[in-house]
Chains A and B, each alone.
Chain A
Amino acid sequence: MAEDLRSRTESSLTERVPDTAEDDLGSDLHTAHQRLNMGPSHPATHGTVKFLIELDGESIVDLDVQVGYLHRGFEKECESRSWYQAIPYTDRLNYNSALMANVGFCLTVEKLLALETPERCQWLRVLASELSRVGDHLTRCGATCLELQAMTPFLYGIEARELIWDLQEALCGARVTSNYVRIGGVRHDLPDGFGAVCRDNLARIRELLADFDSVVTRNRIFVDRLKGTGILSREDCIAYAVTGPLLRAAGVPLDLRKSEPYLCYEELDFDIPIGEVGDNYDRYLVCVEEMNQSLRIVEQCLRRLEMMGQGPVDSTDPRVRWPAKNRVFDGMEEMIQQFKSVTEGPRVPAGEAYGATESANGELGFYLVSDGSQKPVKVRCRPPSFANLQPLSRMVKGGLLSDLIPTFDLVNMIGGECDR
Protein backbone atom coordinates (compact mmCIF):
# COMPACT_ATOMS: atom_id res chain seq x y z
CA MET A 1 0.00 0.00 0.00
CA ALA A 2 2.64 2.46 1.08
CA GLU A 3 4.58 1.59 -2.05
CA ASP A 4 1.86 2.54 -4.51
CA LEU A 5 0.81 5.54 -2.44
CA ARG A 6 4.28 6.87 -2.81
CA SER A 7 4.63 6.20 -6.48
CA ARG A 8 1.41 7.94 -7.40
CA THR A 9 1.46 11.09 -5.27
CA GLU A 10 4.08 13.79 -4.86
CA SER A 11 3.25 15.55 -8.12
CA SER A 12 0.02 17.21 -7.10
CA LEU A 13 -1.48 18.04 -3.75
CA THR A 14 -4.51 15.85 -4.22
CA GLU A 15 -5.68 13.59 -6.98
CA ARG A 16 -8.65 11.38 -7.52
CA VAL A 17 -8.32 7.69 -8.15
CA PRO A 18 -11.18 5.33 -8.99
CA ASP A 19 -12.38 3.15 -6.14
CA THR A 20 -12.29 -0.50 -7.11
CA ALA A 21 -13.91 -1.83 -3.94
CA GLU A 22 -17.60 -2.67 -3.83
CA ASP A 23 -19.54 -0.02 -1.97
CA ASP A 24 -22.53 -0.58 0.29
CA LEU A 25 -24.34 2.37 -1.23
CA GLY A 26 -24.66 0.58 -4.55
CA SER A 27 -22.57 0.40 -7.64
CA ASP A 28 -24.40 3.19 -9.46
CA LEU A 29 -23.24 5.78 -6.94
CA HIS A 30 -19.79 6.99 -7.85
CA THR A 31 -17.37 7.19 -4.94
CA ALA A 32 -13.65 7.63 -5.03
CA HIS A 33 -10.88 7.57 -2.52
CA GLN A 34 -9.00 10.80 -2.32
CA ARG A 35 -5.32 11.05 -1.74
CA LEU A 36 -4.11 13.91 0.39
CA ASN A 37 -0.57 15.07 0.82
CA MET A 38 -0.14 16.78 4.22
CA GLY A 39 3.15 18.34 5.24
CA PRO A 40 6.13 18.31 5.58
CA SER A 41 5.40 21.79 6.83
CA HIS A 42 1.80 22.19 7.82
CA PRO A 43 0.25 24.78 10.14
CA ALA A 44 -1.70 22.15 12.04
CA THR A 45 1.25 20.00 12.98
CA HIS A 46 4.12 21.06 15.20
CA GLY A 47 6.70 18.80 13.68
CA THR A 48 8.28 18.40 10.29
CA VAL A 49 6.70 15.25 8.96
CA LYS A 50 4.78 14.29 5.84
CA PHE A 51 1.57 12.31 5.78
CA LEU A 52 0.29 10.63 2.64
CA ILE A 53 -3.32 10.03 3.48
CA GLU A 54 -5.87 8.01 1.57
CA LEU A 55 -9.33 9.28 2.40
CA ASP A 56 -12.79 7.86 1.95
CA GLY A 57 -14.86 10.99 2.44
CA GLU A 58 -13.43 12.24 5.71
CA SER A 59 -12.30 8.86 7.01
CA ILE A 60 -8.69 7.78 6.87
CA VAL A 61 -8.32 4.55 4.90
CA ASP A 62 -4.57 4.46 4.91
CA LEU A 63 -1.72 6.61 6.08
CA ASP A 64 1.94 6.60 5.22
CA VAL A 65 4.07 8.60 7.64
CA GLN A 66 7.30 9.92 6.15
CA VAL A 67 9.94 11.11 8.58
CA GLY A 68 13.49 12.28 8.09
CA TYR A 69 13.07 15.94 7.17
CA LEU A 70 15.17 17.00 10.16
CA HIS A 71 17.91 14.42 9.73
CA ARG A 72 21.23 16.06 10.55
CA GLY A 73 23.50 13.06 10.85
CA PHE A 74 23.70 13.15 14.66
CA GLU A 75 25.37 9.75 14.89
CA LYS A 76 27.87 10.46 12.12
CA GLU A 77 28.84 13.79 13.69
CA CYS A 78 29.36 12.22 17.10
CA GLU A 79 31.55 9.49 15.65
CA SER A 80 34.03 12.03 14.34
CA ARG A 81 34.39 14.01 17.57
CA SER A 82 35.48 13.52 21.12
CA TRP A 83 33.05 12.21 23.71
CA TYR A 84 32.61 15.68 25.19
CA GLN A 85 31.75 17.25 21.89
CA ALA A 86 28.68 15.04 21.57
CA ILE A 87 26.97 16.71 24.53
CA PRO A 88 25.89 19.90 22.69
CA TYR A 89 24.47 17.68 19.94
CA THR A 90 22.31 15.87 22.46
CA ASP A 91 20.75 19.26 23.30
CA ARG A 92 19.39 19.34 19.81
CA LEU A 93 17.67 15.97 19.92
CA ASN A 94 14.56 16.82 21.87
CA TYR A 95 14.88 20.59 22.09
CA ASN A 96 11.88 20.81 24.40
CA SER A 97 13.74 18.94 27.11
CA ALA A 98 17.39 19.16 26.15
CA LEU A 99 18.58 18.55 29.70
CA MET A 100 17.22 15.04 29.78
CA ALA A 101 19.17 14.07 26.68
CA ASN A 102 22.33 15.55 28.29
CA VAL A 103 21.71 13.43 31.36
CA GLY A 104 20.98 10.27 29.39
CA PHE A 105 24.11 10.54 27.28
CA CYS A 106 26.44 11.36 30.18
CA LEU A 107 25.02 8.56 32.32
CA THR A 108 25.83 6.07 29.58
CA VAL A 109 29.37 7.37 29.09
CA GLU A 110 29.81 7.15 32.86
CA LYS A 111 28.60 3.56 32.68
CA LEU A 112 31.34 2.83 30.15
CA LEU A 113 33.90 4.55 32.36
CA ALA A 114 32.50 2.86 35.50
CA LEU A 115 32.42 6.31 37.05
CA GLU A 116 30.54 7.35 40.17
CA THR A 117 29.19 10.87 40.39
CA PRO A 118 28.88 12.83 43.66
CA GLU A 119 25.52 12.79 45.38
CA ARG A 120 24.92 16.50 44.91
CA CYS A 121 25.44 16.15 41.16
CA GLN A 122 22.81 13.43 41.00
CA TRP A 123 20.22 15.58 42.77
CA LEU A 124 21.02 18.49 40.47
CA ARG A 125 20.52 16.27 37.45
CA VAL A 126 17.16 15.06 38.72
CA LEU A 127 16.09 18.63 39.48
CA ALA A 128 17.06 19.75 35.98
CA SER A 129 15.43 16.73 34.30
CA GLU A 130 12.14 17.15 36.08
CA LEU A 131 11.99 20.87 35.30
CA SER A 132 12.45 20.11 31.63
CA ARG A 133 9.88 17.31 31.78
CA VAL A 134 7.32 19.89 32.92
CA GLY A 135 8.39 22.18 30.09
CA ASP A 136 8.05 19.38 27.56
CA HIS A 137 4.58 18.34 28.71
CA LEU A 138 3.45 21.98 28.78
CA THR A 139 4.46 22.31 25.15
CA ARG A 140 2.73 19.08 24.24
CA CYS A 141 -0.56 19.95 25.93
CA GLY A 142 -0.44 23.63 24.96
CA ALA A 143 0.28 22.94 21.31
CA THR A 144 -2.48 20.33 21.19
CA CYS A 145 -4.95 22.99 22.32
CA LEU A 146 -3.54 25.48 19.82
CA GLU A 147 -3.94 23.09 16.95
CA LEU A 148 -7.50 22.42 18.06
CA GLN A 149 -8.04 26.19 17.71
CA ALA A 150 -7.83 27.01 21.42
CA MET A 151 -5.35 29.86 21.78
CA THR A 152 -5.88 30.73 25.46
CA PRO A 153 -4.69 27.50 27.09
CA PHE A 154 -1.67 27.51 24.79
CA LEU A 155 -0.70 30.93 26.17
CA TYR A 156 -1.12 29.69 29.75
CA GLY A 157 1.15 26.77 28.89
CA ILE A 158 3.75 28.97 27.23
CA GLU A 159 3.78 31.41 30.14
CA ALA A 160 4.47 28.50 32.46
CA ARG A 161 7.16 27.21 30.12
CA GLU A 162 8.81 30.63 30.18
CA LEU A 163 9.10 30.30 33.95
CA ILE A 164 10.76 26.91 33.50
CA TRP A 165 13.12 28.37 30.94
CA ASP A 166 13.96 31.24 33.31
CA LEU A 167 15.02 28.65 35.87
CA GLN A 168 16.98 26.77 33.26
CA GLU A 169 18.71 29.99 32.25
CA ALA A 170 19.65 30.64 35.88
CA LEU A 171 21.00 27.11 36.10
CA CYS A 172 23.08 26.95 32.96
CA GLY A 173 22.94 30.25 31.11
CA ALA A 174 20.89 29.01 28.19
CA ARG A 175 17.15 28.85 27.80
CA VAL A 176 16.75 26.02 25.33
CA THR A 177 19.98 24.27 24.44
CA SER A 178 21.32 23.78 27.92
CA ASN A 179 24.66 21.95 27.54
CA TYR A 180 24.56 21.67 31.33
CA VAL A 181 25.61 18.14 32.14
CA ARG A 182 29.22 16.97 31.94
CA ILE A 183 30.69 13.50 31.92
CA GLY A 184 31.15 12.92 35.64
CA GLY A 185 29.29 15.98 36.82
CA VAL A 186 27.39 19.12 35.94
CA ARG A 187 28.64 22.51 34.79
CA HIS A 188 27.63 24.58 37.82
CA ASP A 189 26.06 24.24 41.19
CA LEU A 190 22.83 26.16 41.80
CA PRO A 191 23.28 29.93 41.62
CA ASP A 192 22.67 32.00 44.75
CA GLY A 193 19.02 32.52 45.54
CA PHE A 194 17.87 29.80 43.14
CA GLY A 195 15.69 28.13 45.75
CA ALA A 196 13.55 31.21 46.42
CA VAL A 197 13.09 32.04 42.72
CA CYS A 198 12.30 28.44 41.94
CA ARG A 199 9.64 28.22 44.65
CA ASP A 200 8.04 31.46 43.41
CA ASN A 201 8.02 30.14 39.86
CA LEU A 202 6.62 26.77 40.92
CA ALA A 203 3.77 28.52 42.72
CA ARG A 204 2.98 30.53 39.60
CA ILE A 205 3.24 27.40 37.41
CA ARG A 206 0.73 25.66 39.68
CA GLU A 207 -1.67 28.61 39.25
CA LEU A 208 -1.24 28.48 35.49
CA LEU A 209 -1.79 24.73 35.46
CA ALA A 210 -5.00 25.27 37.43
CA ASP A 211 -6.11 27.89 34.88
CA PHE A 212 -5.19 25.53 32.06
CA ASP A 213 -7.15 22.77 33.73
CA SER A 214 -10.21 24.94 34.26
CA VAL A 215 -10.54 25.93 30.60
CA VAL A 216 -9.54 22.62 29.02
CA THR A 217 -9.99 19.43 30.99
CA ARG A 218 -13.79 19.49 31.15
CA ASN A 219 -14.30 21.63 28.08
CA ARG A 220 -16.99 19.96 25.98
CA ILE A 221 -15.33 20.62 22.62
CA PHE A 222 -11.92 19.52 23.82
CA VAL A 223 -13.24 16.33 25.42
CA ASP A 224 -15.26 15.47 22.31
CA ARG A 225 -12.19 15.83 20.12
CA LEU A 226 -10.00 13.72 22.39
CA LYS A 227 -12.17 11.05 23.95
CA GLY A 228 -12.21 7.82 21.98
CA THR A 229 -9.84 9.07 19.28
CA GLY A 230 -6.39 7.79 18.43
CA ILE A 231 -6.76 4.64 20.53
CA LEU A 232 -3.77 2.32 20.70
CA SER A 233 -4.38 -0.79 22.73
CA ARG A 234 -2.08 -2.04 25.45
CA GLU A 235 -0.98 -4.99 23.30
CA ASP A 236 -0.18 -2.78 20.31
CA CYS A 237 1.74 -0.36 22.52
CA ILE A 238 3.94 -3.20 23.74
CA ALA A 239 4.40 -4.76 20.31
CA TYR A 240 5.44 -1.43 18.79
CA ALA A 241 7.83 -0.66 21.67
CA VAL A 242 5.84 2.44 22.55
CA THR A 243 7.06 3.93 25.83
CA GLY A 244 6.43 6.92 28.04
CA PRO A 245 3.07 8.66 28.54
CA LEU A 246 1.54 6.84 25.57
CA LEU A 247 2.23 3.44 27.08
CA ARG A 248 1.08 4.55 30.50
CA ALA A 249 -2.11 6.00 29.01
CA ALA A 250 -2.85 2.49 27.74
CA GLY A 251 -2.70 1.20 31.30
CA VAL A 252 0.84 -0.16 31.57
CA PRO A 253 2.49 1.32 34.68
CA LEU A 254 5.99 1.24 33.21
CA ASP A 255 8.27 4.10 34.12
CA LEU A 256 12.04 3.62 34.15
CA ARG A 257 12.30 5.97 37.11
CA LYS A 258 10.49 3.29 39.11
CA SER A 259 11.26 0.04 37.27
CA GLU A 260 15.00 0.60 36.77
CA PRO A 261 15.76 3.54 39.05
CA TYR A 262 18.77 5.64 38.12
CA LEU A 263 20.31 8.72 39.76
CA CYS A 264 18.44 9.22 43.05
CA TYR A 265 14.88 8.49 41.92
CA GLU A 266 14.63 5.68 44.46
CA GLU A 267 14.74 8.18 47.30
CA LEU A 268 12.01 10.37 45.84
CA ASP A 269 8.33 10.18 46.53
CA PHE A 270 6.20 10.36 43.39
CA ASP A 271 3.42 8.45 41.66
CA ILE A 272 3.05 7.05 38.16
CA PRO A 273 -0.29 8.03 36.63
CA ILE A 274 -1.85 5.55 34.22
CA GLY A 275 -4.81 5.70 31.86
CA GLU A 276 -7.47 3.14 31.01
CA VAL A 277 -8.18 2.88 27.30
CA GLY A 278 -5.20 4.58 25.68
CA ASP A 279 -7.07 7.28 23.79
CA ASN A 280 -6.00 10.89 23.38
CA TYR A 281 -7.88 12.01 26.45
CA ASP A 282 -6.03 9.50 28.60
CA ARG A 283 -2.74 10.72 27.15
CA TYR A 284 -3.63 14.29 28.00
CA LEU A 285 -4.63 13.37 31.56
CA VAL A 286 -1.47 11.33 32.08
CA CYS A 287 0.69 14.26 30.93
CA VAL A 288 -1.11 16.71 33.21
CA GLU A 289 -0.68 14.45 36.20
CA GLU A 290 2.97 13.83 35.35
CA MET A 291 3.55 17.57 35.47
CA ASN A 292 2.12 17.70 38.99
CA GLN A 293 4.31 14.77 40.01
CA SER A 294 7.39 16.39 38.49
CA LEU A 295 6.71 19.61 40.40
CA ARG A 296 6.59 17.50 43.57
CA ILE A 297 9.95 15.98 42.66
CA VAL A 298 11.48 19.41 42.02
CA GLU A 299 10.38 20.56 45.48
CA GLN A 300 11.87 17.48 47.10
CA CYS A 301 15.13 18.02 45.22
CA LEU A 302 15.31 21.65 46.33
CA ARG A 303 14.74 20.69 49.95
CA ARG A 304 17.34 17.97 49.74
CA LEU A 305 19.94 20.16 48.06
CA GLU A 306 19.45 22.85 50.71
CA MET A 307 19.74 20.33 53.53
CA MET A 308 22.84 18.78 52.02
CA GLY A 309 24.92 21.95 52.12
CA GLN A 310 27.65 22.77 49.66
CA GLY A 311 29.63 19.92 48.19
CA PRO A 312 31.35 18.83 45.01
CA VAL A 313 29.21 18.60 41.86
CA ASP A 314 31.95 17.03 39.77
CA SER A 315 33.74 13.74 39.93
CA THR A 316 37.45 14.04 40.72
CA ASP A 317 38.36 11.23 38.34
CA PRO A 318 41.42 12.41 36.35
CA ARG A 319 40.11 10.71 33.20
CA VAL A 320 37.32 13.26 32.86
CA ARG A 321 38.42 16.17 35.04
CA TRP A 322 41.09 18.76 34.48
CA PRO A 323 43.68 19.09 37.21
CA ALA A 324 43.44 22.08 39.56
CA LYS A 325 44.64 25.28 37.93
CA ASN A 326 47.43 26.03 40.42
CA ARG A 327 48.88 22.55 39.87
CA VAL A 328 48.80 23.07 36.09
CA PHE A 329 50.98 26.14 36.45
CA ASP A 330 53.43 24.43 38.78
CA GLY A 331 53.67 20.83 37.67
CA MET A 332 54.77 19.24 34.41
CA GLU A 333 52.51 16.16 34.68
CA GLU A 334 49.44 18.25 35.39
CA MET A 335 50.23 20.58 32.53
CA ILE A 336 50.48 17.65 30.10
CA GLN A 337 47.28 16.20 31.46
CA GLN A 338 45.44 19.51 31.03
CA PHE A 339 46.81 19.87 27.50
CA LYS A 340 45.70 16.37 26.53
CA SER A 341 42.29 16.76 28.16
CA VAL A 342 41.62 19.94 26.23
CA THR A 343 42.95 18.86 22.85
CA GLU A 344 41.93 15.21 22.82
CA GLY A 345 39.21 14.71 25.39
CA PRO A 346 38.82 11.65 27.57
CA ARG A 347 39.71 8.13 26.50
CA VAL A 348 36.86 5.76 27.20
CA PRO A 349 37.73 2.07 27.77
CA ALA A 350 36.81 -0.28 24.94
CA GLY A 351 33.40 -1.82 25.36
CA GLU A 352 29.72 -1.20 24.82
CA ALA A 353 26.95 0.05 27.05
CA TYR A 354 23.25 0.77 26.77
CA GLY A 355 21.83 3.32 29.14
CA ALA A 356 18.14 4.13 29.30
CA THR A 357 16.44 7.05 30.99
CA GLU A 358 12.81 8.05 31.18
CA SER A 359 12.56 11.18 29.10
CA ALA A 360 9.39 13.19 28.57
CA ASN A 361 8.50 11.11 25.52
CA GLY A 362 9.50 7.71 26.84
CA GLU A 363 12.58 5.57 26.93
CA LEU A 364 15.55 7.61 25.74
CA GLY A 365 18.34 5.11 25.27
CA PHE A 366 21.96 5.59 24.30
CA TYR A 367 23.93 2.66 22.96
CA LEU A 368 27.60 3.55 22.92
CA VAL A 369 30.49 1.53 21.54
CA SER A 370 34.07 2.51 22.29
CA ASP A 371 37.34 1.11 20.97
CA GLY A 372 39.42 2.76 23.69
CA SER A 373 40.32 5.83 21.66
CA GLN A 374 39.16 9.42 22.03
CA LYS A 375 36.40 9.08 19.50
CA PRO A 376 33.35 6.86 19.84
CA VAL A 377 32.85 4.00 17.38
CA LYS A 378 29.11 4.33 17.67
CA VAL A 379 26.73 6.74 19.34
CA ARG A 380 23.25 5.39 18.91
CA CYS A 381 20.35 7.38 20.26
CA ARG A 382 17.21 5.32 20.74
CA PRO A 383 14.68 8.08 20.17
CA PRO A 384 11.36 7.60 21.94
CA SER A 385 9.38 9.66 19.45
CA PHE A 386 10.59 7.57 16.49
CA ALA A 387 9.18 4.43 18.09
CA ASN A 388 6.06 6.20 19.32
CA LEU A 389 5.30 7.67 15.90
CA GLN A 390 5.55 4.35 14.08
CA PRO A 391 2.06 3.06 15.05
CA LEU A 392 0.43 6.42 14.23
CA SER A 393 -1.28 4.97 11.17
CA ARG A 394 -2.71 2.24 13.41
CA MET A 395 -4.07 4.86 15.79
CA VAL A 396 -5.87 6.92 13.18
CA LYS A 397 -6.95 4.38 10.56
CA GLY A 398 -10.73 4.31 10.30
CA GLY A 399 -11.05 7.59 12.16
CA LEU A 400 -11.72 11.05 10.82
CA LEU A 401 -9.04 13.17 9.21
CA SER A 402 -9.58 15.78 11.92
CA ASP A 403 -8.65 13.20 14.59
CA LEU A 404 -5.19 12.95 13.10
CA ILE A 405 -4.33 16.40 14.49
CA PRO A 406 -4.80 15.77 18.24
CA THR A 407 -3.39 12.25 17.90
CA PHE A 408 -0.22 13.46 16.23
CA ASP A 409 0.11 16.29 18.75
CA LEU A 410 -0.19 14.04 21.78
CA VAL A 411 2.27 11.53 20.32
CA ASN A 412 4.57 14.57 20.52
CA MET A 413 6.88 13.72 17.68
CA ILE A 414 9.88 16.02 18.00
CA GLY A 415 11.67 16.25 14.68
CA GLY A 416 15.11 16.77 16.18
CA GLU A 417 14.84 13.58 18.16
CA CYS A 418 12.88 11.44 15.71
CA ASP A 419 15.06 12.21 12.70
CA ARG A 420 18.36 12.96 14.47
Chain B
Amino acid sequence: MSDVRDRLRAALQDTLPDAIVDSHARLGDETVVVRSDALVDVLVLLRDGADLAFDQLVDLTAVDHAGRADGPRDPRFEVVYHLRSIAHNHRLRVKVGVALEACEVDSAVPIWPAADWMEREVFDLYGIRFRGHPDLRRILLYEEFEGHPLRKDYPKTLRQPLIGPFN
Protein backbone atom coordinates (compact mmCIF):
# COMPACT_ATOMS: atom_id res chain seq x y z
CA MET B 1 0.00 0.00 0.00
CA SER B 2 2.97 2.32 0.34
CA ASP B 3 2.61 3.14 -3.34
CA VAL B 4 -0.20 5.65 -2.72
CA ARG B 5 2.36 8.19 -1.57
CA ASP B 6 4.71 7.20 -4.38
CA ARG B 7 1.97 7.65 -6.95
CA LEU B 8 1.18 11.07 -5.53
CA ARG B 9 4.84 12.04 -5.61
CA ALA B 10 5.13 10.90 -9.22
CA ALA B 11 2.06 12.90 -10.17
CA LEU B 12 3.41 16.00 -8.45
CA GLN B 13 6.90 15.68 -9.90
CA ASP B 14 6.37 17.96 -12.90
CA THR B 15 4.12 20.65 -11.49
CA LEU B 16 4.72 20.85 -7.76
CA PRO B 17 7.83 18.91 -6.83
CA ASP B 18 8.14 20.51 -3.39
CA ALA B 19 4.47 20.37 -2.34
CA ILE B 20 4.97 17.48 0.08
CA VAL B 21 6.75 18.54 3.25
CA ASP B 22 6.67 15.24 5.07
CA SER B 23 5.22 11.79 4.65
CA HIS B 24 5.01 8.58 6.64
CA ALA B 25 2.93 5.45 7.06
CA ARG B 26 3.12 4.97 10.80
CA LEU B 27 0.66 2.43 12.23
CA GLY B 28 -0.40 1.67 8.67
CA ASP B 29 -1.99 5.08 8.01
CA GLU B 30 -0.59 6.61 4.82
CA THR B 31 0.03 10.25 5.58
CA VAL B 32 1.36 13.26 3.68
CA VAL B 33 1.91 16.75 5.02
CA VAL B 34 1.56 19.34 2.28
CA ARG B 35 2.45 23.00 1.94
CA SER B 36 -0.50 25.25 2.60
CA ASP B 37 -0.21 27.14 -0.72
CA ALA B 38 -0.21 23.89 -2.72
CA LEU B 39 -3.11 22.33 -0.83
CA VAL B 40 -5.88 22.79 -3.39
CA ASP B 41 -3.69 21.60 -6.28
CA VAL B 42 -2.73 18.50 -4.36
CA LEU B 43 -6.32 17.76 -3.37
CA VAL B 44 -7.57 18.19 -6.94
CA LEU B 45 -4.85 15.87 -8.15
CA LEU B 46 -5.76 13.33 -5.50
CA ARG B 47 -9.36 13.37 -6.65
CA ASP B 48 -8.74 13.36 -10.40
CA GLY B 49 -5.60 11.27 -10.81
CA ALA B 50 -6.63 7.96 -12.36
CA ASP B 51 -4.45 5.83 -10.10
CA LEU B 52 -5.30 7.91 -7.02
CA ALA B 53 -9.06 8.56 -7.49
CA PHE B 54 -9.85 9.70 -3.96
CA ASP B 55 -13.55 10.25 -4.52
CA GLN B 56 -14.58 10.56 -0.87
CA LEU B 57 -13.53 13.11 1.70
CA VAL B 58 -14.37 10.90 4.66
CA ASP B 59 -13.36 13.29 7.38
CA LEU B 60 -12.01 16.77 7.86
CA THR B 61 -10.90 18.01 11.24
CA ALA B 62 -8.22 20.05 12.96
CA VAL B 63 -5.76 19.51 15.79
CA ASP B 64 -4.49 22.11 18.22
CA HIS B 65 -0.95 21.16 19.21
CA ALA B 66 -0.56 23.82 21.90
CA GLY B 67 0.59 22.49 25.24
CA ARG B 68 1.68 19.08 24.03
CA ALA B 69 3.62 17.06 26.57
CA ASP B 70 6.21 16.14 23.93
CA GLY B 71 7.08 19.72 23.10
CA PRO B 72 5.55 22.58 21.15
CA ARG B 73 4.81 22.37 17.44
CA ASP B 74 5.04 25.05 14.86
CA PRO B 75 2.61 25.86 13.28
CA ARG B 76 0.17 25.42 16.11
CA PHE B 77 -2.84 24.01 14.20
CA GLU B 78 -3.15 21.27 11.68
CA VAL B 79 -6.10 20.67 9.38
CA VAL B 80 -6.44 16.96 8.70
CA TYR B 81 -8.18 15.41 5.69
CA HIS B 82 -9.02 11.71 5.57
CA LEU B 83 -9.59 10.53 2.02
CA ARG B 84 -10.81 7.25 0.63
CA SER B 85 -10.96 5.88 -2.88
CA ILE B 86 -13.87 3.52 -3.41
CA ALA B 87 -12.47 2.23 -6.71
CA HIS B 88 -8.99 1.39 -5.38
CA ASN B 89 -10.06 0.78 -1.76
CA HIS B 90 -7.20 2.82 -0.36
CA ARG B 91 -6.97 5.67 2.08
CA LEU B 92 -4.74 8.66 2.61
CA ARG B 93 -4.41 11.27 5.33
CA VAL B 94 -3.46 14.74 4.18
CA LYS B 95 -2.34 17.31 6.73
CA VAL B 96 -1.64 20.98 6.38
CA GLY B 97 -0.20 23.26 9.02
CA VAL B 98 -2.05 26.45 9.99
CA ALA B 99 -0.42 29.22 12.00
CA LEU B 100 -2.34 31.04 14.70
CA GLU B 101 -1.78 34.45 13.07
CA ALA B 102 -3.19 33.68 9.63
CA CYS B 103 -5.58 30.94 10.76
CA GLU B 104 -6.81 30.38 7.22
CA VAL B 105 -6.64 27.64 4.61
CA ASP B 106 -8.28 27.17 1.23
CA SER B 107 -11.68 25.56 1.22
CA ALA B 108 -12.15 22.06 -0.17
CA VAL B 109 -15.87 22.56 -0.89
CA PRO B 110 -15.32 23.01 -4.67
CA ILE B 111 -13.48 19.67 -4.68
CA TRP B 112 -15.75 17.62 -2.41
CA PRO B 113 -19.13 19.07 -1.37
CA ALA B 114 -18.87 16.94 1.78
CA ALA B 115 -16.36 19.49 3.08
CA ASP B 116 -19.10 22.08 3.58
CA TRP B 117 -20.38 21.12 7.04
CA MET B 118 -17.03 19.73 8.16
CA GLU B 119 -15.27 23.03 7.45
CA ARG B 120 -18.04 24.88 9.22
CA GLU B 121 -17.45 22.64 12.23
CA VAL B 122 -13.70 23.30 12.22
CA PHE B 123 -14.38 27.03 11.92
CA ASP B 124 -16.89 26.80 14.75
CA LEU B 125 -14.72 24.86 17.18
CA TYR B 126 -11.20 26.01 16.22
CA GLY B 127 -11.74 29.38 14.58
CA ILE B 128 -9.85 28.38 11.43
CA ARG B 129 -11.31 30.14 8.41
CA PHE B 130 -11.67 28.50 5.02
CA ARG B 131 -10.98 30.76 2.06
CA GLY B 132 -13.73 30.42 -0.54
CA HIS B 133 -16.25 28.57 1.62
CA PRO B 134 -19.75 29.44 0.37
CA ASP B 135 -21.42 29.82 3.78
CA LEU B 136 -18.92 29.86 6.62
CA ARG B 137 -20.90 30.19 9.86
CA ARG B 138 -21.13 28.29 13.11
CA ILE B 139 -22.80 24.90 12.92
CA LEU B 140 -22.78 23.11 16.29
CA LEU B 141 -22.75 26.21 18.47
CA TYR B 142 -24.89 29.33 18.24
CA GLU B 143 -24.04 32.68 16.73
CA GLU B 144 -23.62 34.47 20.08
CA PHE B 145 -21.06 31.94 21.39
CA GLU B 146 -17.80 33.66 22.24
CA GLY B 147 -14.55 31.92 21.37
CA HIS B 148 -13.69 28.56 19.89
CA PRO B 149 -13.96 25.80 22.48
CA LEU B 150 -11.64 23.15 21.05
CA ARG B 151 -8.65 25.47 21.22
CA LYS B 152 -6.43 24.37 24.06
CA ASP B 153 -6.49 27.81 25.63
CA TYR B 154 -10.28 27.72 25.98
CA PRO B 155 -10.89 26.59 29.60
CA LYS B 156 -13.35 23.75 29.96
CA THR B 157 -15.15 25.45 32.81
CA LEU B 158 -15.70 28.79 31.08
CA ARG B 159 -19.31 29.97 31.18
CA GLN B 160 -20.94 31.66 28.22
CA PRO B 161 -23.31 34.63 28.57
CA LEU B 162 -26.98 33.67 28.52
CA ILE B 163 -28.82 34.56 25.35
CA GLY B 164 -32.42 34.69 24.27
CA PRO B 165 -35.37 37.07 24.59
CA PHE B 166 -35.29 37.21 28.40
CA ASN B 167 -31.64 38.13 28.81
Which partner residue on chain A sits nearest B95 by CB separation? A352
Q: Does A312 contact B (CB under 8 A)?
A: no
Residues of chain B contacted by A350 (CB below 8 angstroms): 70
| A365 with B70: CB separation less than 8 A | no
How far is A238 from B111 in the complex, measured between Cα atoms in Å?
12
> What's the interface size class on B, roughly?
35 or more
| A238 with B55: CB separation less than 8 A | yes
| B69 with A367: CB separation less than 8 A | no
Q: Does A300 contact B (CB under 8 A)?
A: no
How far is A375 from B142 in the complex, measured between Cα atoms in Å?
28
**A243, A351, A354, most chain B CB atoms within 10 A:** A354
| B140 with A68: CB separation less than 8 A | yes
Residues of chain A contacted by B26 (CB below 8 angstroms): 351-352
| B89 with A260: CB separation less than 8 A | yes
| B58 with A2: CB separation less than 8 A | no
Interface residue ranges of A27-74 to B (CB < 8 Å):
67-68, 71, 73
Residues of chain A contacted by B58 (CB below 8 angstroms): 241, 243, 356, 363, 365, 382, 387
Residues of chain B contacted by A260 (CB below 8 angstroms): 89
| A354 with B141: CB separation less than 8 A | no
Q: Does B45 contact A (CB under 8 A)?
A: no
Stretch at the interface among B3-11, B15-23, B99-107, B113-121: B113-121
Given A371-B68, A373-B69 in contact, is the A239-B113 Cβ separation under 8 Å?
Answer: yes
Interface residue ranges of A255-277 to B (CB < 8 Å):
259-260
| A372 with B82: CB separation less than 8 A | no
| B55 with A367: CB separation less than 8 A | no
How far is A367 from B82 in the complex, measured between Cα atoms in Å?
9
User: B70: which of A112, A354, A372, A378 is its contact (CB, 8 Å)?
Assistant: A372
How far is A62 from B138 in the complex, measured between Cα atoms in Å?
20
| B27 with A73: CB separation less than 8 A | no
Q: Does A390 contact B (CB under 8 A)?
A: yes
B82 to chain A: closest CB distance in Å?
A: 6
Q: Does A3 contact B (CB under 8 A)?
A: yes
| A241 with B56: CB separation less than 8 A | yes
Residues of chain A contacted by B91 (CB below 8 angstroms): 354
Interface residue ranges of A263-315 to B (CB < 8 Å):
none
| A67 with B112: CB separation less than 8 A | no
Q: Does A205 contact B (CB under 8 A)?
A: no
B90 to chain A: closest CB distance in Å?
A: 10
| A241 with B140: CB separation less than 8 A | no
Residues of chain A contacted by B51 (CB below 8 angstroms): none
Which residues of chain A have a CB within 8 Å of any CB of chain B?
2-3, 67-68, 71, 73, 75-77, 80, 111-112, 114, 238-241, 243, 252, 254, 259-260, 350-354, 356, 363, 365, 367, 369, 371-373, 377-378, 380, 382, 386-387, 390-391, 419-420
